[in-house]
Amino acid sequence: MNTAEQYKDSLRARKIELWIDGVRVDEPLAHPKVAPAVEAVAATYALAHDPAHHGIATAFSDLTSRPVNRFVHLFRSTDDLVKKVLLQRELGRITGTCFQRCVGMDALNALFIATFEAGDVPHARFVRWLREVQQHDEMVCGAMTDAKGDRRKRPAEQPESFVRIVERRPDGVVIRGVKLHQTGAANAHQILVMPGQALRTGEEAFAIACAVPVDAPGVVMILGRQPSDDRKGTPDAGNVRYSGQQVVVAFDDVFVPSANVFLDGHLAAVSAMLDAFTGYHRASYGGCKPGNLDALIGAVAEVARLNGVERTPAVREKMIEMVHLTETIHGLGLAASHKSTRHAAGLWRVDALLANVCTQTVSRLPYEVVRLAEDLAGGLVSTMPSLADAAHPRLGPILANVMGSPERGRMLRLVEWFTSGAGSVPLRIECMHGAGSPMAQRIVIDRHADWAGKVRVARRLAGLPEV
């Protein structure tokens, strides 16, 4: 298992094509908009070497017969799924942001199931690839979301809006298209490309799942902007250590050797992959988001203490409500994992209904926590001058009575970061859309709710005959 330093060293060996604000960046690790995101990923490597967290951060792999970092592990038991959520909560607390390895972890598990359903050859290819990923302890990002264009149209009606196979060669395929919102792509080693929606007969060219090294010829990355990202690397950043990252990844005629092609026109297996992935990933949010909220609640508690109101009943009431909402989300992530069932491929799958209810709450409750945080933090959370002003000899004395202690200034900046700065990306928009928009969850809830069973018990209680 790699250490944090080994992970960072391994990134230096890549020759990625990364663009930031219109400029090609050859040394991304040193870039202020990339470095905090690398640090957040590095925390996932560091935790695996922390004896206090060994139980949740590592697992024993039956592919390599060695301990591996849990982020490249298969969900071989209910315990694995529960520990995944506990690990995500811990890392969410440590980093206060998205640590970027969950999409890849959930995707590789989903593809294990999907390739098993697709047949021996795809499955053997995938297992060989995964064994190598485990041996090298690589960071894998999961690329599902296509540009999609007109949402009413099928991929075949607007192929340019979807990643697809454009050429077949004896030794592989060439893919073209763009994936959006790619979490951690510029900090990763490999991209696991997968379809983002179920596909029909005639849409086989879009039914491609494959692994692509981040520096394969033709892979072009464009870093997404985040609110207040110009502050990264400065005290005004709020979270002065870590940040998340999303990237637009273009596949500009990228050759993928056959050994790395896992699904190719397997329409039923694509649906199996989507089912498994959305379940896993929607339960994951029951770990990372409560962890992020822990850090926000901690920041608000500090502001309240420094304001002298932490024991005031009205303030306590709001603090308690923030904890109640946070634990509700966590409980659902754990419950979906505890109620898991075994798939024939030998992996355990979360309870789909509870996983989707989990993200449905994630699309709402963090917004209420943020509202309460903004209430308790006061207006300065969005009007405070720079911390550099507070350190200025002429301005410092003026601001001393505005910002209070330097601690208060830092805590207010952290609340700002979570609620409307770069930290609001994982804490708000990702809560809304990550792992699929709320309507996608409601469709699954409709599919898995036992409507007939509910009617049956109601009729029995009312003394009516069974129908």
Ligand X SMILES: Cc1cc2nc3c(=O)[nH]c(=O)nc-3n(C[C@H](O)[C@H](O)[C@H](O)COP(=O)(O)OP(=O)(O)OC[C@H]3O[C@@H](n4cnc5c(N)ncnc54)[C@H](O)[C@@H]3O)c2cc1C
Find the farthest-apart pair of alpha carbons in the chain and give their distance in angstroms, rounded: 83
Closest CB 56 distance from ligand X, rounded Å: 22
The minimum distance between CB 434 and ligand X, in angstroms, equals 5
- Please, what is the minimum distance in Å from the beta carbon of residue 185 to ligand X? 8
State the residue for tokens 């060994």.
54
Instruction: Please list, residue by residue across 54-73, b when 16 or more beta carbons sit within 10 angstroms of its beta carbon and e when fewer do.
Output: eebbbbebebeeebbbbbbb
Does 144 sit near ligand X (CB under 6 A)? Answer: yes
Stretch that binds ligand X, among 77-85, 148-156, 297-305, 329-337 (CB under 6 A): 148-156
Q: Cα separation of 186 and 13, whole Å?
A: 13
In the complex with ligand X, the residue whose CB is nearer, 98 or 256, is: 98
Q: Measured from the CB of residue 312, what is the shortest distance to ligand X in angstroms?
A: 35
Cα dihedral 396, 399, 403, 405 sign: positive
Q: Which of 108, 113, 118, 111 lies closest to 266, judged by CA?
A: 118
| For ligand X, the closer CB: 182 or 326 | 182
* Shortest Å, Cβ 286 to ligand X: 17
Structure tokens that stand for 277 in this block:
């992935």
- CA pair distance 187, 189, nearest whole angstrom: 7
Element (H, E) at 416: helix 406-419
**Smallest separation (angstroms) from ligand X to the CB of 242:** 15
DSSP string for 166-182: EEEETTEEEEEEEEEEE
Contacts of 291 (CB under 8 A, 6+ apart): 88, 89, 90, 91, 92, 93, 94
**Of positions 439, 461, 462, 467, contacts ligand X by CB under 6 A:** 439
Nearest approach, Cβ of 425 to ligand X (angstroms)?
5
Interface with ligand X (CB under 6 A), residue from 143, 300, 336, 358: 143
Q: Looking only at residues 93 through 122 of this chain, which bind ligand X when binding is defined by CB under 6 A? A: 103
Instruction: Give me the 168-207 binding string for ligand X, x by CB under 6 A, dash otherwise.
Output: -----------x-xxx------------------------
At closest approach, how far in Å is the CB of 68 from ligand X?
Answer: 21
What distance in Å separates the CA atoms of residue 213 and residue 336, rounded to the nearest whole number? 33
Residue 237 near ligand X by CB under 6 A: no
Of the candidates 12, 24, 151, 311, which one interacts with ligand X according to CB under 6 A? Answer: 151
Q: Which region holds residue 181: left if phi is over 0, alpha if psi is between -120 and 50, else beta?
A: left
* Binding of ligand X by 436 (CB under 6 A): yes
Of positions 6, 312, 383, 437, contacts ligand X by CB under 6 A: 437
Among 49, 148, 305, 343, binds ligand X (CB under 6 A): 148
How many residues sit in the footprint of ligand X (CB under 6 A)?
23
In the range 391-420, which residues lie near ligand X by CB under 6 A? none
Among 246, 292, 419, 441, binds ligand X (CB under 6 A): 246
Q: Decide whether 125 or 179 has the Cβ nearer to ligand X.
A: 179
Q: Which tokens belong to 37?
A: 């995101």
CA distances, 86 to each of 190, 310, 354, 355, 435 (Å):
25, 29, 17, 15, 19
Q: Which is nearer to ligand X, 58 or 243 (CB)?
A: 243
Helix (H) or strand (E) holding 383: helix 380-383
CB nearer to ligand X: give 58 or 187.
187
Binding residue (CB under 6 A) for ligand X from 433, 445, 448, 456? 433
Q: Name the CA dihedral angle for 290, 296, 297, 298, rounded to a multiple of 10 degrees.
A: 110
* Residue in 156, 220, 402, 429 binding ligand X, rule: CB under 6 A: 429
Contact (CB, 8 A) for 33 and 229:
yes
Residues at the site binding ligand X, with contacts judged by CB under 6 A: 103, 141-145, 148, 151-152, 179, 181-183, 246, 425, 429-430, 433-437, 439
